[in-house]
Structure 1
Amino acid sequence: MKKIGLIGGMSWESTALYYQNINRDVARRLGGLRSARVHLVSLDFQEIADLQKQGDWLRMTEILQTAARQLESSGAEVLLICTNTMHRIAPEVQSVTPLPLLHIADVTADAVLAAGLHKVGLLGTRFTMEQAFMRDLLAARGIACLVPDEAGRAEVHRIIFEELCRSVVLESSRQKLIALVQQLVAQGAQGVILGCTELTMILRPDDAGVPSFDTTALHAMAAVDFSLS
């Protein structure tokens, strides 16, 4: 069993889901009391969130590069960045370590294409919905992404940072997200990517009425595939 290295804490809520998903899948596949060999560097999300607001991606790159080196030194054999947004700097993190870094967009694209879909809605932080790093990688695989309008993007971002990252899950917010998904479906989305690792806390697989793709679970399962390969 290869050791899985997690760069987490962004937020700790979704990192807990990674740990849970990884260990449950290892136990399901291997039986008994088997659990994953996981190494974790958990960052202080307040520091990262402040840097995101400032647009200081250079400093965030330095922090995640340090975490990657720590995991390599600890004996980890594969790396995961446990957040969609911070994949904006995935190439820079990969550049400082020979360890393979499993990219969340790659495993998501695999799942979307396996479902036979080519146009999907994308929900996430403003960074994920508005910047190109996620959408371009999906487009390179032949997947077009639709995102909510300006007001919708602002509301999704607010729900993530002001509620989900603080362990607050409100039915009213779930209904708002469902309405946004329905708008994207009306525009031609065949499915929806839950492109923020906290969104699985509030949206259930059948909420959208179309296939949904939980990037947290997909990323975690890819880690188990690698670990047991």
Structure 2
Amino acid sequence: MRKVGIIGGTGPEATVDYYQSIIAEYQNRIGSKEDLPELVINSINMYKIFNLLEEDEKSELVDYLVEAIQSLERAGVDFAVLSANTAHIVFEEVEKRVSIPLISMIQAASAKAKELGLQKVGLIGTGFTMASDFYENAFSKNNQEIIVPSKEDQDYIHRKIVDELEQGIVKEETKSRFLKIIRKMVAEQKAEGIILGCTELPLMIKESDLDVPALNTTAIHVNRILDAVLGAGESIDD
């Protein structure tokens, strides 16, 4: 069994969800409640990441994440993951500078969309995620198109993620507005599915709320992590 390292704190609510989901999925796969996976969490500062992105200090962000992953490596993990969509903005740069394998949430989401036969997929997440091209670049390799909401809707989504969801606050009026934005993307932009591109979004939006598939990036990533932990499928790097 391989030991996984998690870069957490980005945000804290999602880190808890990752921890609990990895344990639950591990026990489900092995068919026993009397065993646990081995993992190490390095909880870093989400607000430092946001500040570095706002100041366009991506090289400093890469340094920050590389240092955090190297700390996990010294703790003896076999591979590591970033438990946040936004941090994947610099995933490729970070991956080049660390010695242990990393499992990309974005690549896993693209593979899931391909499995579901989705070609045109809507993306909601932080403003940084929606304004960047890292999702678009990954999905284009599978001939998939990424679409995002209007700038006004992006600003609203980002503000509510930072001010509410990252604090563990779920408001019904916020959920209602998010669902309205998603339905507009489906009706007007012909989105065939929606990526919940912030790991706090599943705290509020469930697949049953939508008429199209919802790609829960936390759940998708956790499944890929467990494949690696248990040595299922291909190598960690694939």
TM-score normalised to structure 2 length: 0.93
Residues 38-68 of structure 1, C-alpha deviations (whole Å, 9 max, x = no match)? 1111002222222222221121111100011
Amino acid corresponding to residue 66 of structure 2 in structure 1: Q
Note the C-alpha offset of 1:111. Answer: 0.8
Written as runs of structure 1 = structure 2, the 5 A alignment for 1:30-41 is: 30=30, 31-41=32-42
Amino acid corresponding to residue 197 of structure 1 in structure 2: T
Q: Structure 2 regions of 5+ residues with no counterpart? A: 232-238
Note the C-alpha offset of 1:117. Answer: 1.1
Does residue 2 of structure 2 align to residue 2 of structure 1?
yes
Note the C-alpha offset of 1:36. Answer: 1.5
Written as runs of structure 1 = structure 2, the 5 A alignment for 1:76-91 is: 76-91=77-92
Counterpart position of 1:106: 107
Amino acid corresponding to residue 223 of structure 1 in structure 2: I
Counterpart position of 1:167: 168
What is the alpha-carbon distance in structure 1 between the residues aligned to residue 146 and residue 97 of structure 2?
Answer: 30
What is the alpha-carbon distance in structure 2 between the residues aligned to residue 202 and residue 9 of structure 1?
Answer: 19
User: What SS does the aligned partner of 1:189 have?
Assistant: coil
Q: Structure 1 regions of 5+ residues with no counterpart? A: none
**Percent of matched pairs sharing the same residue:** 31
Amino acid corresponding to residue 115 of structure 2 in structure 1: A
Amino acid corresponding to residue 131 of structure 1 in structure 2: S
Written as runs of structure 1 = structure 2, the 5 A alignment for 1:168-207 is: 168-186=169-187, 187-207=189-209
Amino acid corresponding to residue 155 of structure 1 in structure 2: Y
User: What SS does the aligned partner of 1:41 have?
Assistant: strand
Counterpart position of 2:17: 17
Amino acid corresponding to residue 10 of structure 1 in structure 2: T
User: What SS does the aligned partner of 1:95 have?
Assistant: helix
Count of paired positions:
229
Does residue 53 of structure 2 align to residue 52 of structure 1?
yes
Match of 1:224 among 220, 223, 226: 226
Amino acid corresponding to residue 156 of structure 1 in structure 2: I
Counterpart position of 1:145: 146
Q: Is the 8 A contact 1:24 1:35 kept in 2?
A: no
Amino acid corresponding to residue 228 of structure 1 in structure 2: L
Counterpart position of 1:120: 121
User: What SS does the aligned partner of 1:168 have?
Assistant: coil
User: What SS does the aligned partner of 2:209 have?
Assistant: coil
Amino acid corresponding to residue 199 of structure 1 in structure 2: L
Amino acid corresponding to residue 216 of structure 2 in structure 1: D
What is the alpha-carbon distance in structure 1 between the residues aligned to residue 81 and residue 93 of structure 2?
Answer: 13
User: What SS does the aligned partner of 1:206 have?
Assistant: helix
RMSD: 1.0
TM-score normalised to structure 1 length: 0.97
Amino acid corresponding to residue 2 of structure 1 in structure 2: R
